[in-house]
Amino acid sequence: MKRYILLWLISFVAVAGLRAQGSSLSGAPRMENSIDRFVNNESTIGRSKFTSVVERDPQTHEVVRVIKVRELTRGIDIGRCQETFEAESRTGCFSHNIDADNRHTLLIAVEGKHQDRIYMLQYTGRQPLQAHDGKVTIVIKMKNSHDSPSR
C-alpha cells in the first residue's frame, strides 16, 4: 500500500511540474482548444500511449517547439477525436485526405499571435469506429517573443 501511495505522490508532483512548465511556455498565453483538451484529458487517464517533447533554445532556454503524440487504440476514441477535429476545423486551415489504403489524415493548421499549431489525426479504416489504431500529433511552434539579430 505504501508503494502505491508513494507512486501516486511522485506522479502528482511530476504532473504538477509539467503543468507549471507548460503554463510558462515563453510567457505566451495558452491557445487551448477542444483538441488540446481531448489529448490532455485522455493522456491522464492512461488508456493510451502519450509522448511529449519540448525543444528549447540552448542559449536562452526558451521553449522553441513542443510536440505531443497520443496513440489511439480503439475505434471509439478515434471517432470522438475525428468529431473534435471536425468541430475545430473552422479555427484554421483544414484538410481531410484519404489515400488508396484507406489511411485518413486530418490536418488543421492554426496561426496565432504567439505560436503556430498543427494538429494531425491519422487512422486506417473506412470509418473511425472500424479503425483499430490511430495517432494524434500536435506541434506547437513558438514565435519569437523578442526581436533578435541572430535569428
Those residues with Cβ within 8 angstroms of residue 27's Cβ, 6 or more apart along the chain or in another chain: 145
DSSP strand pairing (115-124 vs 103-111): antiparallel
All domains of the chain in start order, with CATH: 28-142 (3.30.2030)
Query: Which three cell numbers mark 12?
Result: 502528482
Considering the entire predicted model, what is its pTM? 0.69
pLDDT digits (tens, 9 = 90+) for 5-62: 656 666 665 555 544 444 444 444 456 777 878 777 766 666 678 888 999 999 998 9
Residue 124, pLDDT score: 86
